[in-house]
Structure 1
Amino acid sequence: MTVESKKASIITDLALAPEGHLKIDWVAAHMPVLNRIREQFEKEQPFKGLKVSISLHLEAKTAYLAKVVKAGGAEVTITGSNPLSTQDDVCAALVEDGITVFAKYNPDPKEYKALMVKALENKPDLIIDDGGDFVSILHAERPDLMAQVRGGAEETTTGILRLKAMEKENSLKFPVVAVNDAFCKYLFDNRYGTGQSVWDGINRTTNLVAAGKTAVVVGYGWCGKGVAMRAKGLGANVVVTEIDPIRAVEAYMDGFTVLPMIEAAKVGDIFVTVTGNRDVIRGEHYEVMKTGAILCNAGHFDIEVNKPELEALTATKRTVRRNIEEFKLKDGRSIYLLAEGRLVNLAAGDGHPAEIMDMTFALQAISLKYVNDNYKEIGAKVVNVPYELDQQVAQYKLEALGMGIDKLTAEQKAYLESWTEH
């Protein structure tokens, strides 16, 4: 049952807050970089008097980011970026912590959209977006809520693609920092975070062994690299499908078999899509799959596995285990879909490890400060995270790990900057 509480938040049940606090406290204890930034924000108050709206997968790590932004003086409103990744106990805990929340687990599509709009009705000064939905709503549906927006930060590959399309059409109205494209995001979050959390979601959902099975990784970007690497570590035989010849050669050099999807479909036991594109597994592929094939998606939207074409081949459908649907095909084969084709690592798991999201959300926090400090100079475009901020996060991480690195001597700097004396 949905309840309204403190500042008109809309959540499922405020009584769930104690468990949510435990989750948030646990991740906070394992996010030293974000803790350091929180200390800076508490002193500097970079967001004092500003309203910040956040749309992210609403679980404990995201909740702690929201608390860090609040510690910087902001009035924070938050909603989920996927209906199946919201954790109701975390939402309740945030409400008790003075953050306005419009989110609940598994709302119907209409309610999900309405909650997202509610999170923008405070007319924010700054936004954090995941997948571009906030930006899309503000530009296409509710421009009346956009007047005060100074800028924002975007979390995902999918969101960056949408933003760059808007920028190309000259329809983007404010600057957005492409956090997804920062080194400390894609090298660690996309690769190590996605790699571990995808297999965590698959393993806990299916309770099946990966060793000896053929895992088909659809897309060999940074997320695909991580998924393939962890599949190999679990003992799976890995097949990669790609549309980019350079990435295909890279996958081959990394020791994986590379096949067109129509051939990979014949041999795969577990399929993971990580492309950001639609219909990468579709009807022609279902036609040749083995019975018992397991499909899941780790891209932002549930369009990578074409569900309508799977249902068109289906005689009966049933839920056989939480987050597993069996599609019994008309020819007697069974194909299983995890988490409705939504992000398996969040819809059927807890998302990336806290130590990984520590770096990503540190980037989000300081990128939000950067766009607030520079929005007039940046203008209405997509910009990269400044390299010095990337380095700052990495340096904080090294220090938290108790590790150090070397520095160039004056002679080494001079050597690298010269061209005459080599």
Structure 2
Amino acid sequence: MTATDTVLSGLSAIRDWQQDCYRDLHRHPELSHQEFGTARKVADRLGGLGYQVHDGIGGTGVFGVLDNGPGAVVLLRADMDALPVAEDTGLDYASTVRGTDRDGHEVPVMHACGHDVHVTALLGAAQLLADGADQWRGTVVALFQPAEETADGARAMVDDGLADALPAVDVALGQHVLPLPAGMVGTHSGPFLAAADSMRITVHGRGAHGSMPQSSVDPVVLAAMIVVRLQTVVSREVAPVEPAVLTVGSIQSGSKSNVIPDRAVLQLNIRTYSDQTRTTILDAIRRIVTAECAASGSPREPEFELFDRFPLTDNDLDATSRVHEAFAAFFGDNCWEMPQGAASEDFSEIPKALGVPYTYWGVGGIDGAAFGRAAEAGRVEQDIPVNHSPKFAPVIQPTLDTATEALVVAALAWLAPAG
């Protein structure tokens, strides 16, 4: 048996507690920067496995270090936070939790993105590597990050001195469960997940009675013209071979049918894969909004606020190649090369701050038979719930086994064999 096979031979022994852990985390989700219960469970388990535990990094961040002699230092990362989504899965362990968001609003809470899978898989991998420490040499860092959904959790850990608290890391590895057949893993070299920027734009008009529009500067019409004109940014200012997305997700203005309001607020989301395209789009938005405000006779300049900014996930070529080769050897035909995705992640903030290479891969979480039926009928997008959907519910197995195996296989691609 190889070292990988020997370490993973303990998977059947931890499967029951992993499944119980997953159900518990799914039933008790916590919003970004509020992952206190999850962090406590993580710290307790890591401590029991012999890891040196550091908690409270960036608020609720936790990491454990297992020093097993000379060799590479491998960082494995999982995110912990949930979303303000009302669960509609019908599971007997579905969340009924309600919480308070950062704006003070009471909201439902659900692990609608699979971070409960990520936490459970990393805890399992941490145990397997600890139990199989006679098979490898080096150091494992199991890092559990808060607030990925708000794009500031990784940065919060970095700003709180993460680099000084860690040993000298050689490589950082991470993964995400996706609406793909369970049991499959996929890698991608180079730009993988998009950079994302959210923008809040306030445009100003002059309020008036609905019967006297001549006395107004109508911000609703102004906002409508901005939305229409913004549709030309990607189609006319970005090269056709360069992927990009510009979405106007929200327009808010007024409160009554016969009152012309004095302002409108638009919220936009931009997805790009290069700094140049990112700059082009952001500059175009400001130019178009400013020009439309001038054309409408707006009494004040528009206001722009950028928030929830995610970095580009740009997988290191050599690190990705090494992981892909290890996956191909272990998973066989269940390993594939994934296309780019337009989702976003803040994981890369950590290896960038540490100055180390990284790679980030996908793990399937959908029942294979259900996915196959949907694919055969050409209805994958209609029938398969995706991340952030209230119906998103990864099947427990083989999702947990595969996600745990992937972390162990990837880590052992760097850790030296014992001997």
Q: TM-score range by the shorter chain?
A: under 0.3
Greater helix content: 1
Greater strand content: 2
| TM-score, normalised with respect to structure 1 | 0.26
Whichever of the two has the greater Rg, that structure is 2
Higher relative contact order (CA 8 A, sep 6+): 2
